[in-house]
Amino acid sequence: IVDRPDPVDKGCLQYVVKPRTGSGSEGVRITSYAQAGPDEIVTRYHEGLHLSASFIVGGEGFLPLTINRQLIDFADGKMRYQGSQVPYKTPRAAEIWEAAEKAANVLGLRGYAGIDFVLGERPWAVDVNARPTTSIIGIARVMKEEIGELIVRARFGGLPEMVHLEGESIFRKGDLA
């Protein structure tokens, strides 16, 4: 989170201003002016591939579900979430899961959660959702296990070592209305 503009010599000239709460990139804008309103936060803008990592955390550990590609439109200085590709296969999956697990541990997350990343030279965590995310729609279509059962097992014990995925789901926000 940025509380004032970076010095020019640092080279960060773009920022993302977003509501403290919300979903689907509503109210998110890209600007060179690092100032937030009372219910907004400012982060540095990072160039890269927009991904999310969906997982379940319980007393027994961290269960990766899927890495998802976020379909985002950029126009008029705004970011608009349009949907997801679930799962998204990347050779950098281990790096993303390591970053997601570290963040989950530091934040004390429990149950189902998702972290949005921008994957550039390294994975930048840009948003943490300590709740089911929109990607759950695609995950439920491709995962053999039942998400609800896994969430209960995270609380009371018995998480599996891994989940089983079959196929791919691409959905668009407009199709969900």
The three-state secondary structure class of 98 is helix
CATH 3.30.470.20 domain position(s) in the chain = 47-71+82-176
The three-state secondary structure class of 59 is coil
The top-level CATH class assigned to 47-71+82-176 is alpha beta
pTM reported for the whole predicted model: 0.84
| Tens of pLDDT, residues 6-60 | 666 666 677 777 777 766 567 677 777 777 778 887 877 778 999 999 999 998 7
| Tens of pLDDT, residues 103-130 | 999 999 999 999 999 999 999 998 898 8
At which residue do the structure tokens 């790096």 appear? 95
| Tens of pLDDT, residues 124-176 | 998 898 888 889 999 999 999 999 999 999 998 889 999 999 999 999 877 77
The token duo for 23 is 């979903």
Pairing outcome for strands 123-129 and 111-119: antiparallel
The rounded Cα 11 to chain-centroid distance in angstroms is 25
Counting Cα atoms < 13 Å in the Cβ hemisphere of 53 gives 30
